[in-house]
Amino acid sequence: MAFLKLLARNRLALAGLIVIWIVVFLALITPLLPLADPDVTDTPNRFKAPFSEGAVLGTDHLGRDLLSRLMWGTRLSLAMGVAAAIIAATLGSAIGIIAGYFGGRTDNIIMRGVDMLMAFPYILLALAIVAALGPGLMNALFAVAAVNVPFFARNIRGITVGVAHKEFVDAVRLAGMRDSEIILREVLPNVLPVIVIGMSTTVGWMILETAGLSFLGLGSQPPQADLGSMLGEARSALITNPHTSIVPGAMILIIVMGINLLGDGVRDALDPRLKSGALSRPMPATEVDRRETTRAQTDSLLDIAGLQTEFRVRNRVYKAVGGVDLHVEKGECLGIIGESGSGKSVTALSVMGLVASPPGVITGGAVHFDGDDIIGAKYEVLRSLRGRRVAYIFQDPLATLHPLYKIGDQLIEAIQTHETISKSAARSRAIDLLKSVRIPNAENRIDSYPHEMSGGMRQRVGIAMALANDPDVIIADEPTTALDVTVQAQILSVLNDLRRERGLAILFITHDFGVVGQLCDRVAVMYAGKIVEEGPTDAVLRNPQHPYTSRLIDCVPTLGGGQRKLAAIPGLPPVVDRLPDGCAFADRCDKVQMECRSGAIDLAATAPARKTRCLFPENTQEASA
Ligand code: ADP
Ligand code: MG
């Protein structure tokens, strides 16, 4: 159903569907219609013009009724094309799945055979097959199917190779499932959409090819009509009686156009990547749609004031970031902490306009870097800042590094993007960078590919790349989440040293209070797109004021803390397209009061350097004492 809805949204595909539906319907009911016999010749009445008495579309060179021949011919051509497509898809897919699934020698032998078929020019091969088998409808059908087998075999083999090495296939193999069963139950369902897409986009071709063979007299034999043979017979009268060629020609055009429009629509609707619009290119910088500009609240190096970012997905609006105020000084490390989905990454990406648009839109606030507002700045300005003055480190270094380039080349590219410098100079800079993030044997490791390194080493490369242009601010989005604890400690100490040596400002995003305690001077706690508490790390850890913060801290195990049961916060964060009125945490808070559920609650100063967005903050006496 969802598939039909998607298809119907595509106007052209819908038009194709309607055309094809009409043609197929007419072809199906042809035997029931009161048509003249298509094969009865009536030479005295040859070449009658269209719309003449007794022959709506006129007659051909033997006086046969063109309308009747057209209907029967369309029926035959459609059947031939669809049959050829089904045969080619079945055979080709079977070959492709077997080659791709078993791999190795099986794959080699099968695919070389397929390659041999592909080495012949397409239509020539079909002609050769018909020549060998002798002309005739069935032989033409086989020829067309045969020349299309390699197309399916190659396509499906590629997809199967990808699927056959996925974890879920390994899992059922370990569970003892037989190969034939795995192919039918695990592989086939995953390649089926591709087969359907392949068929829907090639049926048109196959109709054309069978028509082509019939046109040359190798397909359907007289007196039987198909669209190709009708065109072939009309060839000699093309100038004198053009209607005999135009009638079948127009029908071929209509059918193939309709099928191709429909086929493209089916492909778009079935392909999950196209469906989500992932292949539509995002804009180079996040779209900005804000009413008024906001002034910087501090004169820090990086000042985020009232930042609002939302996602507009069809008729829904997800307010991922709802007015965030933050500032980072030179040489300072600010931690942002919060549960998954609280808007940390979107905040970080908004700073340099990196949120994908569509669907992301920055709807309010300002980000002042070194005194200038960079929200809505020209793309050239953003581009020169990105990587040179504000650099990012992301969570998964395997996803951020290009798998096909050596890490050295990627570092050199990062350096050369912002600086005109010779390749050898850039290379020695890259080696120094790798040394500065404590990669042992940097001179040799620079020529490694990302997959040759461990997770910890890869993340060091990620940090080295962020440092490549000596930035002022590094925004690290959960850089240690994918790593184990010992490697995490090493990475944190690398970052901490770099900050002290270079006076870097770091915006460190994490969901782990332990990490914040080790690295950050100040911490901001985020919940449902808003900062709920902010202050010096020590003070916040010792005297959390927002109930959410204290619950988060309770989730961290303490060494020597005895056998305490670890607390988990019940419930889930609110969905950001339907935020409740009042405090977003109210539903999960055990200190909730009536007042918490209405009106906006401000981030209020509760003590020097501390702010809390709570009507009934905890631990306020201790904090001011
Ligand atoms: P986190 O704090 O875990 O980094 P994010 O900043 O990635 O969270 O996400 C914040 C919110 O924005 C989440 O609720 C998420 O559902 C929403 N969001 C993120 N990307 C999109 C998107 N492309 N479309 C719709 N909503 C999104
Ligand atoms: Mg995130």
The residue ranges of every structural domain in the chain are 2-31+68-274, 322-527, 537-624
From the CA of 354, the nearest ligand is 1
Q: How confident is the model at residue 142, as a pLDDT?
A: 93
From the CA of 358, the nearest ligand is 1
Cα three-residue angle 316-317-320, rounded to 5 degrees: 140
Per-residue pLDDT tens over the stretch 296-312 = 788 889 999 999 999 98
Which pairing describes strands 302-313 and 473-477: parallel, antiparallel, or unpaired?
unpaired
Rg of the chain in Å (alpha carbons)? 34
Task: Give the residue, by CA position, lying nearest to ligand 1 atom 25.
Answer: 311
Pocket of ligand 1 (CB under 6 A): 311, 313, 318, 320, 338, 340-346, 359, 576
Report how far residue 606's alpha carbon sits from residue 39's, in angstroms, rounded to the nearest whole number: 96
57 backbone dihedrals φ, ψ, rounded to 5°: -105, 10
Sort residue 314 into left (φ over 0), alpha (ψ -120 to 50) or beta: left
CATH topology agreement for domains 2-31+68-274 and 322-527: no
Ligand 1: centre distance to CA 576 (Å): 9
Ligand 1: centre distance to CA 352 (Å): 17
Whole-number mean pLDDT of the chain?
Answer: 88
Q: How confident is the model at residue 426, as a pLDDT?
A: 94
CATH topology of domain 322-527: Rossmann fold (3.40.50)
Ligand 2: centre distance to CA 345 (Å): 4
Contact status, residue 117 vs residue 250, Cβ threshold 8 Å = no
Mutating to test ligand 1, I would choose from 312, 346, 481, 510 the residue with most ligand atoms within 8 A of its C-beta, which is 346
Task: Give the residue, by CA position, lying nearest to ligand 1 atom 24.
Answer: 311
Ligand 2: centre distance to CA 24 (Å): 51
From the CA of 478, the nearest ligand is 2
Per-residue exposure over 405-434, b if at least 16 CB sit within 10 Å of its own CB, e if not: ebbbbbbbebbbebeeeeeeebbebbbebb
Task: Give the residue, by CA position, lying nearest to ligand 1 atom 10.
Answer: 343
From 402-406, 416-420, 481-485, the region with the lowest mean pLDDT: 481-485
Per-residue pLDDT tens over the stretch 237-289 = 889 989 999 999 999 999 999 999 998 888 777 776 665 555 567 788 888 88
Q: How confident is the model at residue 253, as a pLDDT?
A: 94
Q: How confident is the model at residue 251, as a pLDDT?
A: 94
Q: Which CATH superfamily is domain 2-31+68-274 in?
A: MetI-like (1.10.3720.10)
Ligand 1 atom nearest to CA at 529: 10
Ligand 1: centre distance to CA 527 (Å): 12
From 218-232, 339-353, 487-501, the region with the lowest mean pLDDT: 487-501
Which pairing describes strands 505-510 and 530-536: parallel, antiparallel, or unpaired?
unpaired
Q: What is the rounded average pLDDT of the residues 150-163? A: 93
Number of H helices, E strands in the chain: 24, 13
> In sequence order, what are the beta bridge partners of 390?
386, 473
Please report which confidence band the pLDDT of residue 562 belongs to, taking 50, 70 and 90 as the band edges.
low
Ligand 1: centre distance to CA 318 (Å): 8
Per-residue pLDDT tens over the stretch 602-613 = 888 888 889 999
From 477-481, 497-501, 558-562, the region with the lowest mean pLDDT: 558-562
Q: How confident is the model at residue 431, as a pLDDT?
A: 94
- pLDDT at 625 > cutoff 60: no
Mutating to test ligand 1, I would choose from 307, 310, 311, 512 the residue with most ligand atoms within 8 A of its C-beta, which is 311
Highest mean pLDDT, choosing among 6-15, 78-87, 498-507: 78-87
Ligand 2: centre distance to CA 411 (Å): 25
Task: Give the residue, by CA position, lying nearest to ligand 1 atom 21.
Answer: 311
